[in-house]
Amino acid sequence: MWSAMSTSQEVHNKHQVVQERYRLCGSCGNFCGVSENQVYCIVCGEKLMEECPQCREPIVYPTARFCPVCGRLLVQVQNLP
């Protein structure tokens, strides 16, 4: 059975922007695409995060130091001497 609601949803879905998702190392700031299937950072060995630990927003900005939704610090990089 056809309905206007299902047609509207289909049109809306066709126009959504698909954003690449990333995994981010909270220790050194290294990142990789989710499609690369890495679980641990290849630079420092820490487990990579795919979403903000506080609000669960997916990471779509690979160089972000802070979550764009809740503002939580994502990367704890120390200044090198």
Mean pLDDT of 7-26: 67
SS3 23: strand
**Considering the domain boundaries, does residue 63 fall inside one?**
yes
Rg (CA), the chain: 17
**Considering the domain boundaries, does residue 81 fall inside one?**
yes
| Model pLDDT for residues 37-68, shown as the tens digit of each residue | 999 999 999 999 999 999 999 999 999 999 99
**Considering the domain boundaries, does residue 9 fall inside one?**
no
Mean pLDDT of 28-36: 92
| Model pLDDT for residues 10-19, shown as the tens digit of each residue | 444 555 566 7
Asked if 39 and 32 touch (Cβ cutoff 8 Å), the reply is: no
Instruction: Spell out the residues 6+ positions from residue 21 whose beta carbon is closer than 8 angstroms to its own.
Output: 33, 34, 50, 58, 59, 60
Burial of 31 (0-12, 13-18, 19+ CB in 10 A): buried
**Considering the domain boundaries, does residue 45 fall inside one?**
yes
Q: What is the pLDDT of residue 18?
A: 60
Asked if the model's pLDDT at residue 20 lies above 70, the reply is yes
Mean pLDDT of 17-35: 89
Asked if the model's pLDDT at residue 5 lies above 50, the reply is no
Domain count of the chain? 1
User: Which domain does 49 fall in, by range?
Assistant: 18-81
**Considering the domain boundaries, does residue 77 fall inside one?**
yes
**Considering the domain boundaries, does residue 13 fall inside one?**
no
